Amino acid sequence: MNIAEMYSSLPQYRCWLNYEQFHDTADTSLEPYCRTIFVPSGFKVLQSAAAELSAAVKGAFRFSPRITERDDGACGIVLAVDEDSFPDGCDAFRISRSVDETRIYITGANENSVLYGAFEFIFALGCGKSADKIEMLSHTPNRIRIMQQWDNASGDIERGYAGNSIFYKDGKITSDFSRIRDYARLLASVGINYISLNNVNVHETETKFITPEYLPQIAAIASVFSEYGIRVMLSINFAAPIAVGGLSTADPLEESVQNWWRETADTIWSYIPDFGGFVVKADSEGRPGPYTYGRNHVDGANMLADAVAPHGGIVLWRCFVYNCRMDWRDRTRDRARAAYDNFMPLDGKFRSNVVLQIKNGPMDFQIREPVTPLFGGLEKTNQMIEFQVTQEYTGHQIDLCYLVPMWKEALDFDTFARGKGSRVSDIVSGKLFGSPLGGAAGVSNIGDSPAWTGNPLAQANLFGFGRLAWDPARTSEEIARSWAVLTFGRDSKVVETVTSMLLRSRDVYEHYTCPLGIGWFVNPQVHYGPSVDGYEYSCWGTYHYADLHGIGVDRTAATGTGYAAQYRQPNAEMYEHLETCPEELLLFFHHVPYSYRLKSGQTLLQYIYDSHFRGADEAEELKKDWESLRGRIDPQIFDEVEKRLTLQVQDAIEWRDVVNTYFYRKTGIPDEKGRKIYP
């Protein structure tokens, strides 16, 4: 028995596709339609859609529907591709009922879209919708919705908090695809259409994935994902022409290098006809890139784009670049400026099949950052937004931290690039500037744990990323509530409690960790637990500059690093001034005296004290809320979450005491409320 078979009976393994519990939630008005599924032959993705519908129906109504390609006039569900009814190139589906109410039609612009429509029908079934409320039309503005694995061939996962890789072990690619198939099902159910299979920090073994030594095995994995409409991509080593090609250079302007990449692309597509293309991390954190040869990002990206273009491939070029040898002594240098400074001069010079993959903030996935000014700056270049689903700086999937509200803030941010209403979501979709490609990337949070994500509640972030990537207009509450229903059923106390816990959790985590946008109070390397000065004198450029008088980074144009001026007006003016800067980002943009009074009337220092005491109390409240559900939730899920919430309470107390004591010792100013702070 393989691992997937061992785990498949566990509700936490099935995640939101826990069809067995649909029996208690499905509305009986849908039952007559579910006895027959009409699906045309010759479409492998439609066959997957029919299989998912069949499994969901069996869970809901305890019978297996008849699946047929012959239309015999029976009542049923019809799956069909209808290209002419949808905008060209758009992933879109429609769920409708026939006039005589004997058929439910799930139609889509392509096979993938029909599959997404089938899953939407399944979600409606699981959430108890009736037949008269089933109709809908849905389309996504984002052509690229990619999950990016940070898995290594060794089997470990960089910044992974849910066990080891489901793809690799001990330098070898797995031959057991059962769990990979279930992962493909989960991703397709929320609209993901690409996956990159390996870490962006490409090591020796993974560098060879683009060679015939490994391509047959990569192709076998790709064939599993293709059944669910997901195209495989690979993260590549920019120095691969040297490492595996036998060349003496990887200079993108050298003809021999260009030829090598073209031949490599031809080879890859000969093994994987629907291969998606390359993800590239170059000239960042020690990774090789075009700078080595005196070239720039355009030279490197376009060389690769030309190689994959004949096959319809794309290049996702990550914008996480900065001089990682910063100097804490030099306050004029600012890591936050790096993406804008590097890429703005290159706007309009990239090929049409290159997409710049830009992190939501200018630093590195902190609990609170401003949106990077590169969104709204670039106008002539394909862009997509990168979110970190894995909780590197947000609790390691021990602490509960629902990230969808943070992502919504980024997508809804108004850049004013074309006047008021120029939201980031419209930039990354290509709508605002008429870009042909764009979308969203999520750094995966799954591993081989029984619950996929370690903490079963962290599944909400995986689910939420996909739902938001498909439709950025969805609300955080809508996503949280639907996830809770699909995962736990329709017990109203469970749904309301879990939804409330999720929606509060981001603020709770922020309260007991890093105040007002400063970030980086974590232990170096591991990025878990408090260490206020852990990075303060490092080369990573993540400083808070706390002294006995104040804290924060002066990023103003007048007296600081000038970062605030990278934004368009009126945002630049808003961030420039202490009085108009949003308080949740105050310390990101300004060095502020501890005596400064916030809008609440609190001094900055008292806010820090109050926030950390409050956050520790709120963590305890989360645990109590969960404990109120004992007996209402599967015991294995309940115990796993309870264990992690217990750790979160302990961690929150540690954060509270370390941070508050740090500032008390720094300033000598006591807490106005006389609470315990250690001298």
552-567 b/e (C-beta count within 10 Å ≥ 16 → b): bbbbbeeebbebbbbb
Residue 445, number of CB atoms within 10 A of its CB? 28
- Residue 306 CA, chain-centre distance (Å), reads 28
- Look at residue 621 and give its three-state secondary structure: helix
Our answer to whether residue 392 is catalytic in this structure is yes
DSSP E strand boundaries for 166-259: 168-169, 172-173, 194-196, 231-236
Whether 533 and 636 have beta carbons less than 8 Å apart is answered as no
Nearest CA-CA partner of 283 in 245, 250, 307: 250
Whether 153 and 171 have beta carbons less than 8 Å apart is answered as yes
* Beta-ladder partners of 138: 93
Instruction: Please say whether the dihedral angle defined by the alpha carbons of residues 662, 665, 670 and 674, taken in this order, is positive or negative.
Output: positive
At 209, the amino acid letter reads: F
Hey, what are 361's tokens? 């903030």
- Burial class of 126 by CB neighbour count within 10 A (0 to 12, 13 to 18, 19+): buried
Whether 118 and 18 have beta carbons less than 8 Å apart is answered as no
Distances (CA, A) of 134 to 74, 90, 305, 471, 593: 19, 22, 42, 18, 56
At 334, the amino acid letter reads: D
Our answer to whether residue 151 is catalytic in this structure is no
Strand 314-318 versus strand 354-359 pairing type: parallel
Whether 192 and 145 have beta carbons less than 8 Å apart is answered as yes
Segment 477-482 long-range contacts (CB within 8 Å, at least 24 positions apart): 477/503, 479/404, 480/402, 480/404, 482/123, 482/127
Q: How far apart are CA 140 and CA 194, in angstroms?
A: 14
CA quadruple 419, 423, 427, 428: dihedral, nearest 10 = 170
State the number of CA atoms in the 13 A half-sphere of 552 facing the CB.
27
Q: Which of 111, 151, 299, 364 is catalytic?
A: 364
DSSP E strand boundaries for 82-174: 92-97, 103-108, 136-139, 144-148, 168-169, 172-173
Distances (CA, A) of 221 to 119, 176, 195, 216, 451: 22, 10, 11, 9, 22
Q: How far apart are CA 386 and CA 559, in angstroms?
A: 31
- Look at residue 357 and give its three-state secondary structure: strand
Instruction: Please say whether the dihedral angle defined by the alpha carbons of residues 580, 582, 583 and 588, taken in this order, is positive or negative.
Output: negative
Q: How far apart are CA 628 and CA 479, in angstroms?
A: 23
Nearest CA-CA partner of 116 in 87, 148, 145: 145
Q: Which of 135, 176, 266, 285 is catalytic?
A: 285
Q: Which of 91, 182, 392, 576 is catalytic?
A: 392
Helix, strand, coil % over all residues of the chain, rounded to 5: 40, 15, 45
Our answer to whether residue 285 is catalytic in this structure is yes
Catalytic site positions: 285, 364, 392
